[in-house]
């Protein structure tokens, strides 16, 4: 195992991206509706900051980590966050990389690469999902762990941020191979996680079954330590301490946020038209829940294709179809359409719920919606966001919109710690309280600092982190 970079200041680490010139773009005037008085996120000022030079960040403007931290630094400047907090938060505390061998079904061994990045724990244990994807990289995991710190702070759960992953395509392995991969990865990072230290959860490509194997492996390794080992992960099956409502929680939070924010944008959720990019956990639950509130899901696209039904497709039937076939292609209740048509279709709400950086300039120019609600993490690039702002499309940022998942993960952890099981009604009610409080925190910051909603969300998150650092101090 490579040694993590330890220490409260999270020293600068090597980044994996290529070097290139920062992008130049002229700030443009928003067309309608959006209350932006400060330079919008995505303008060239995001790509320049003394902190980037001080910490030797990659210079490529397309680097996800630079883009993500850039938005935070813009908010930090606006609220005059002390410099030491900017540099602490601009890098993770620990970056753990492991390589581990696993026997395949044919008897041969393969070597796998895994990550766990622990961004910050000023507010509580590190918390964040595990991504199982063939293309996962250190910079992705760093970005996602950074977003977890911000999200947990904004939504008011007592956690810091972490994220991890395995470079693996879970769909190309048998159940037996996946079980051995997940258990061996757990053993490799067992001394770096724990119910009071770092608590993983599902993300893209990982499921509640994977969480069950992680919990079981961790319990076997830590038996006799007196810890409640099952609380080492959330997103577990309900039979072994998972929470009711966790599976749908992120989609539920997306819809709770829309219910709170749409009236001021002049959109009625009961009659609104929705488009969804990605129909996995977040996309399909957002679709099902918003349809149950009276909205119509018009178009959906995933890695298998794009579909459209102007009368509104059946979001529940589509979820069942995707579970059976692996994607939206071939769904009988809608017509297949081209990718461009998917983005161009007129809707009120567009929900990106697939992977990062999918809404770049070309997609932002095609979109024909009033609101973009970020179900996925970091789906909009700064350049894409600048176009959306020019076109008057309101962006509800991921650290607000998709915080429902980690909030119910927190409820699961509380239930495990207190040996108690909450009713679904309690979970949904408490989740709604957290989502509304977070939305109001963003709205208040937007009013006070006269900025866009993403900057406001970061300010809401940074305020809480600043308070924590003020009372904790910086060791020694
Ligand atoms: P998932 O694996 O269940 O679904 C991912 C979806 O993205 C699938 O429908 C897949 O077809 C689609 N997709 C992948 N590549 C695509 C492409 N090139 N074009 C179009 N579609 C593509 O993952 P998920 O758990 O729903 O996570 C989706 C996003 O939400 C990620 O950014 C994740 O980090 C974020 N998120 C998830 C949770 C959670 O609780 N699961 C919580 C917060 C944020």
Q: How many whole angstroms from 11 Cα to the centroid of ligand 1? A: 31
List, as one string, the DSSP characters of 373-404.
Answer: E--SSS-B-HHHHHHHHHTT-EEE-HHHHTTH
Q: Render pLDDT for 110-162 as a digit per residue (tens, 0 to 9).
A: 999 999 999 999 999 999 999 999 999 999 999 999 999 999 999 999 999 99
What's the CA gap between 254 and 408, in Å, rounded? Answer: 13
Q: Of 181, 111, 113, 110, give the one whose Cα is nearest residue 141.
A: 113
Going by their DSSP bridges, the two strands 349-352 and 273-277 should be labelled as parallel
The 3-state DSSP class for residue 421 equals coil
- Residue 203 Cβ inside 6 Å of ligand 1? The answer reads yes
Q: Is 57 helix (H, G, I), strand (E, B) or coil?
A: coil
Q: What is the pLDDT of residues 407-434, one digit of tens each?
A: 999 999 999 999 999 999 999 999 999 9
Stated as kind and residue range, the H or E segment containing 334 is none
Identify the weakest region by mean pLDDT among 33-37, 92-96, 184-188.
33-37
Number of alpha carbons in the 13 Å side-chain half-sphere of residue 337: 21
Q: What is the pLDDT of residues 371-403, one digit of tens each?
A: 999 999 999 999 999 999 999 999 999 999 999
Instruction: For residue 84, give Cα distances in angstroms to 81, 91, 92, 461.
Output: 8, 12, 14, 16
Does ligand 1 lie within 6 Å of residue 282's CB atom?
yes
DSSP label at residue 275: E
Site to substitute for ligand 1 among 144, 284, 287, 302, most atoms within 8 A of C-beta: 302
Ligand 1 close to Cβ of residue 353 (< 6 A): yes
Average pLDDT of the chain, as a whole number: 91
Token pair recorded at residue 469:
């650092």
């Amino acid at each position: 195992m490579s040694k993590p970079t330890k220490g409260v200041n999270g020293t600068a680490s090597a980044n994996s991206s290529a070097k290139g010139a920062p992008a130049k773009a002229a700030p443009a005037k928003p067309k309608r509706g959006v209350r932006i008085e400060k330079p919008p996120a995505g303008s060239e000022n995001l790509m320049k900051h003394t902190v980037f030079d001080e910490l030797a960040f990659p210079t490529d403007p397309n680097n996800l980590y630079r883009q993500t931290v850039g938005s935070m630094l813009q908010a930090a400047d606006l609220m005059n966050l002390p410099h030491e907090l900017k540099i602490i938060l601009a890098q993770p505390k620990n970056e753990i990389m492991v390589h581990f061998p696993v026997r395949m079904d044919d008897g041969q061994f393969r070597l796998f690469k895994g990550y766990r990045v622990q961004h910050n724990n000023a507010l509580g244990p590190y918390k964040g999902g595990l991504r199982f994807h063939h293309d996962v990289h250190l910079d992705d995991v760093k970005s996602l762990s950074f977003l977890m710190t911000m999200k947990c702070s904004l939504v008011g759960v007592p956690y810091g941020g972490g994220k991890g992953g395995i470079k693996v395509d879970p769909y190309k392995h048998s159940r037996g191979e996946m079980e051995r991969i997940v258990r061996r990865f757990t053993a490799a990072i067992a001394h770096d996680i724990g119910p009071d230290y770092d608590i993983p959860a599902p993300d893209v490509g990982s499921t509640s079954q994977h969480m069950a194997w992680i919990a079981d492996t961790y319990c076997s390794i830590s038996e006799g330590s007196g810890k409640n080992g099952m609380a080492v992960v959330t997103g577990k099956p309900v039979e072994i301490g998972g929470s009711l409502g966790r599976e749908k929680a992120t989609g539920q939070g997306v819809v709770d946020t829309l219910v709170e924010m749409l009236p001021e944008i002049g959109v009625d959720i009961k009659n609104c038209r929705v488009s969804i990019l990605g129909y996995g956990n977040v996309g399909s639950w957002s679709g099902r829940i918003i349809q149950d509130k009276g909205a119509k899901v018009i178009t959906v696209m995933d890695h298998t294709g794009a579909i459209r039904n102007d009368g509104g497709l059946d979001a529940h039937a589509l979820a069942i179809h995707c579970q059976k076939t692996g994607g939206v292609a071939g769904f009988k209740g809608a017509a297949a359409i081209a990718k461009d048509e998917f983005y161009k279709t007129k809707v009120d709400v567009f929900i990106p719920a697939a992977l990062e950086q999918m809404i770049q300039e070309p997609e932002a120019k095609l979109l024909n919606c009033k609101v973009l609600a970020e179900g996925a993490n970091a789906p909009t690039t700064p350049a894409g966001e600048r176009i959306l702002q020019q076109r008057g499309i309101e962006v509800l940022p991921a650290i607000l919109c998709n915080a429902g998942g980690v909030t119910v993960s927190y409820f699961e952890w509380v239930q495990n710690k207190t040996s108690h099981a909450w009713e679904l009604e309690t979970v949904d009610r408490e989740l709604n309280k957290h989502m509304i409080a977070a939305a109001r925190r963003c709205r208040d910051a937007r009013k006070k600092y006269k900025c866009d909603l993403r900057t406001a969300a970061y300010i809401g998150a940074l305020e809480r982190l600043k308070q924590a650092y003020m009372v904790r101090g910086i060791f020694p």
